[in-house]
Amino acid sequence: MSSCRRLLVFLLVLALFVSVLPTASAKVEAVRGKRYKLTAQHGPWMIMVAAFRDVPQSETRHKKGLTADQAANQVVYELRKMGVPAYTFRQSAQMGELKGFDRNADDTTRSYVARHEGVAVLAGNYKSPDDKTAARVLKFLKDGYEPKFLSDERYGGIIPRTPGRPKALARAHMTVNPLMSAADIKRRSVDPLLKRLNSDAEYALMKSKGKYSLRIATFRGTSITQVAGRTQAKAQNFFDKMMGDSLDEAGQKAWELTQALRNARGLGYGSDFEAYVHHERYQSYVTVGAFDSPSDPRIAQLAARFRGKLRMHEGREQMTAEVLTIPRDLSNGRQPDKMWMFDATPKLVEVPGR
């Protein structure tokens, strides 16, 4: 093969890798011989690449080669070299019990191996099972990737080839991090619809670098505003104008409030706020602050600034929500051009997907 033709083949293969796998900018560490063990911080959604187990010494087919650990580490290294974060996870043997009857009609319980001991390779850290990158990597693993050590008989790898398993990793599939609880998986997963709703949003909460934020205002579609315990027609008309009554308007109001908070100083208020917006299926809400711990002292300070105040109304003390208006000065009976009402009780929320 001429040098030009070899170069063309190389470039085609390189283009295939670039189109299927994450780019090198992902900066995935790959050190030969280093063990990359799975932890509860990975995932929550991952690809089960393969599971390796050692051949018992008593089996006649046993020959010298890589152990299950060595084979798994080799696959992890190869995947990391291609930009795919991969990890090993040791699975312990799991026994099961099968109840039945013997010839004397007595109850019997027999044990069986429900799962063999082995080492699994899991790859990727995805927020959703529908992640587009996960789909591309999974297809590549199932259809186009063969671990290099399987091509050399000296390593002793045994992979049964069947019509349902034409490739070594044809059974790769999406799964969850086995070290995470169901609650943690739900917390760290991102609904594909919510991801689409928020991916392009300016100041989206999902883009915050913190783990927590303080929810201070909620906007819901087609909602009724209660004033002093009852619906007042005049007040209702006013709030319909200011707050909107559809889900689209709720999202727009939330985004506008986020912008106003980030530019509060220019609107006559004392300081700007690090504000974020988040859209859900039936509501949108605004948060302030980015915190790594729920015990951050700044949380209480911010909550005090936005929390509702007890005020007298018709001879009774009632909790009244705070508002932000444009302009700030509403003296001489001036009506606001824009107004937003904050939640009476701010609530700390986790940043979606963190």
Question: What is the tens place of the pLDDT at every residue in 52-93?
Answer: 887 665 554 555 678 888 889 999 999 999 999 999 998 764
Cα 250 to Cα 243: distance, rounded to the nearest angstrom: 7
pTM tops 0.85:
no
Specify if 151 maps to a domain: yes
Cα 190 to Cα 130: distance, rounded to the nearest angstrom: 10
Q: Is the pLDDT of residue 101 over 60?
A: no
Cα 231 to Cα 298: distance, rounded to the nearest angstrom: 36
pLDDT of residue 149: 75
125 and 57 within one domain: yes
170 and 27 within one domain: yes
334 and 251 within one domain: yes
255 and 158 within one domain: no
Specify if 199 maps to a domain: yes
Nearest to 113 by CA among 92, 130, 132, 131: 92
Specify if 54 maps to a domain: yes
Specify if 301 maps to a domain: yes
Specify if 102 maps to a domain: no
208 and 77 within one domain: no
Specify if 109 maps to a domain: no
282 and 163 within one domain: no
Quote the domain boundaries for residue 8: 3-90+121-189
59 and 32 within one domain: yes
198 and 162 within one domain: no
Number of domains observed in the structure of the chain? 2
Q: What is the DSSP letter of 344?
A: S
Nearest to 50 by CA among 91, 81, 16: 91
**How many other CB atoms are there within 10 angstroms of residue 15's CB atom?**
10
Is the torsion defined by CA of 170, 171, 172, 174 positive or negative? positive
Specify if 82 maps to a domain: yes
